[in-house]
């Protein structure tokens, strides 16, 4: 009987999400992050695997980008782990290429290993190069709430997914993104 209970517990643990976090309803950013996670799973159920396997997730409820040949963007979110909110994350982007318009989207960055997440928190990079600036290529077409974007998927132990919110943007650009991490204040 004891073996059966142990086996049942192991099977249940294997199907439980890796990030089991509940937002503080009084903190607007936490509520927005939780909503982003819910919407991501509703729109793309195949993301469940990434939620289940992740050691941590950086969630940006709103990233805004604008561009006309030269473009830029900004977003703010939270880094979550099993223990809750690890800290606040922000991103700033500068792009150059064929681009015109403005767009808003949600973004999730999944860290498959805790080592990749630790590198992100210490250096601000996603494990591709050392330093605080990440280079990216991006292609997107967005009109209103409908849109398609292609971010490079898994690179090493990091996966990035973007979900359209609103805007009118046509983009084929390359540029850099700078990430910053600010640890959460310790609980009293």
pLDDT the model gives residue 153: 54
Is residue 40 left, alpha or beta, with left meaning phi > 0 and alpha meaning psi from -120 to 50? alpha
Q: Give the integer Cα–Cα distance in Å for 112 and 55.
A: 6
Question: Do residues 41 and 50 touch, judged by C-beta distance below 8 A?
Answer: no
Torsion region of 144: left, alpha or beta (phi above 0 gives left; psi -120 to 50 gives alpha): left
Question: For residue 21, what pLDDT is reported?
Answer: 84
Question: Which residue numbers in the chain have pLDDT < 50?
Answer: 1-18, 129-132, 150, 152
Distant-in-sequence, close-in-space partners of 175: CB < 8 Å, separation ≥ 6: 71, 93, 94, 95, 96, 97, 135, 136, 138
Amino acid 16: pLDDT: 36
Q: What pLDDT score was predicted for residue 58? A: 96
DSSP state at residue 131: S
Q: For position 115, what pLDDT does the model report? A: 92
Q: Phi and psi of 125, rounded to 5°?
A: -110, 165
For 5, 29, 73, 86, 180, the CA distances from 177, given in Å and listed in that order, are 48, 21, 9, 21, 10
pLDDT per residue as tens digits for the range 47-97: 998 899 899 999 999 999 999 999 999 999 999 998 899 999 999 999 888
Give the pTM. Answer: 0.80
What pLDDT shows up at residue 12?
Answer: 33
């Amino acid at each position: 009987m004891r073996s059966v209970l142990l086996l049942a517990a192991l099977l249940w643990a294997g199907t439980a999400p890796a990030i089991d976090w509940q937002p503080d309803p009084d903190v607007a950013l936490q509520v927005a992050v939780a909503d982003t996670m819910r919407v991501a799973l509703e729109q793309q159920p195949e993301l469940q695997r990434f939620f289940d396997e992740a050691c941590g997730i950086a969630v940006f409820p709103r990233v805004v980008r604008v561009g006309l040949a030269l473009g830029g963007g900004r977003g703010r979110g939270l880094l979550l782990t099993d223990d809750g909110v690890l800290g606040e994350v922000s991103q700033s982007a500068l792009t150059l290429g064929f681009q015109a318009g403005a767009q808003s989207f949600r973004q999730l960055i999944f860290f498959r290993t805790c080592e990749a997440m630790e590198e992100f928190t210490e250096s601000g990079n996603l494990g591709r190069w050392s330093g605080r600036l990440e280079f990216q290529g991006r292609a997107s077409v967005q009109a209103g709430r409908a849109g398609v974007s292609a971010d490079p998927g898994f690179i090493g132990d990091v996966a990035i997914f973007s979900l359209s919110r609103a805007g009118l943007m046509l983009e084929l650009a390359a540029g850099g993104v700078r990430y910053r991490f600010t640890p959460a204040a310790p609980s009293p």
